[in-house]
């Protein structure tokens, strides 16, 4: 299983709301994440910076499948008012996929 990290950002002043919303992630979304093969998914926060880690065999395939999933689209819309967005209106996200060390 491959490991991936990505960095996102929430809007300044929305940090507590971001945490609150993640206390009750919809069960349909959790199911969708698992169905595309995502596991061990964690998000860490430092100020407005969000550092996410996940394990998935094929990150790009999983993301394409999630783009078509109604539960994921609903969640993305729900979060859009508190996430920093790029010029296309998508959440700003920087993927880090080059692992240089792993302690087993």
- Catalytic amino acids? 22
pLDDT of residue 100: 95
Q: What is the pLDDT of residue 98?
A: 92
Q: What are the φ and ψ backbone dihedral angles of 76, each rounded to 5 degrees?
A: -60, -40
Please indicate, yes or no, whether the overall pTM of this predicted structure exceeds 0.85. Answer: yes
- Per-residue tens of pLDDT for the chain, all 104 residues: 899 999 999 999 999 999 999 999 999 999 999 999 999 999 999 999 999 999 999 999 999 999 999 999 999 999 999 999 999 888 999 999 999 999 99
Residue 89 has what pLDDT? 84
Please give the Cα distance from 26 to 50 (Å, whole number): 20
The CATH code of domain 2-96 reads 3.30.70.100
């Amino acid at each position: 299983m491959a490991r991936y990290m990505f960095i996102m950002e929430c809007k300044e002043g929305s940090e507590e709301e971001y945490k609150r919303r993640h206390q009750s992630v919809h069960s349909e979304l959790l199911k969708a994440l698992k169905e595309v093969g995502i596991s061990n998914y964690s998000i860490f926060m430092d100020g407005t910076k969000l550092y996410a880690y996940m394990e998935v065999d094929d990150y790009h395939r999983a993301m394409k499948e999630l783009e078509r999933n109604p539960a994921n689209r609903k969640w993305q819309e729900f979060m859009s008012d508190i996430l920093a967005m790029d010029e296309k209106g998508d959440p700003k996200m920087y993927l880090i996929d080059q692992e240089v060390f792993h302690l087993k």
